[in-house]
Amino acid sequence: MRDRAADLRRTDGDAFYMRIERLCTTTFRMALDDEIQRAAFDRWIVGRGEAVFMLDSVDEAKLPSMVTTTPLPDALAALKAALGPAISRIRLVVSSRGSEWHDRSEQKPLEMFAARLAAARGDAGSDVTRLALALLDEDRIMRLARSRGADDGLITLLEVSDLIDDARTPLDALHYADHYVAHRGGDDLARSFASRGAVLRASVERRLRDADAEAPRPPADQVAAMRAARRLAFALTVAQTRDIALPSRGSTPRRCSPPGRAASR
Find the angle CA(35)-CA(41)-CA(39) to the nearest 5 degrees. Answer: 35
- Which residues of the chain, if any, have pLDDT below 50? 213-215, 248-255, 257-265
- Cα gap 256→73, rounded to integer Å: 9
The Cβ of residue 225 has, within 10 Å, a number of other Cβ atoms equal to 14
> Domains of the chain: which residue ranges?
2-121, 138-239
The whole model's pTM is what? 0.63
Name every residue whose Cβ is closer than 8 Å to that of residue 251 and which is 6 or more positions away in sequence. Answer: 65, 66
82-107 confidence digits (pLDDT tens)? 999 999 999 999 999 887 888 899 99
pLDDT, position 253 = 46
What single string gives the DSSP state of each residue in 16-55? EEEEHHHHTTS-HHHHBSSHHHHHHHHHHHTS---EEEEE
- Cα gap 237→203, rounded to integer Å: 19
What DSSP state is assigned to residue 149? T
Phi and psi based region of residue 95 (left: phi greater than 0; alpha: psi -120 to 50; beta: remaining): beta
| 167 touches 158 (CB < 8 A) | yes
Dihedral (C-alpha) 165, 168, 171, 174: value to the nearest 10 degrees?
80
Cα distances (angstroms) measured from residue 7 to each of 3, 20, 75 = 6, 20, 24
pLDDT, position 163 = 87
For residue 90, report the phi and psi dihedrals to the nearest 5 degrees: -115, 155
Cis before 57 (ω within 30): yes
The Cβ of residue 113 has, within 10 Å, a number of other Cβ atoms equal to 22
What DSSP state is assigned to residue 247? P
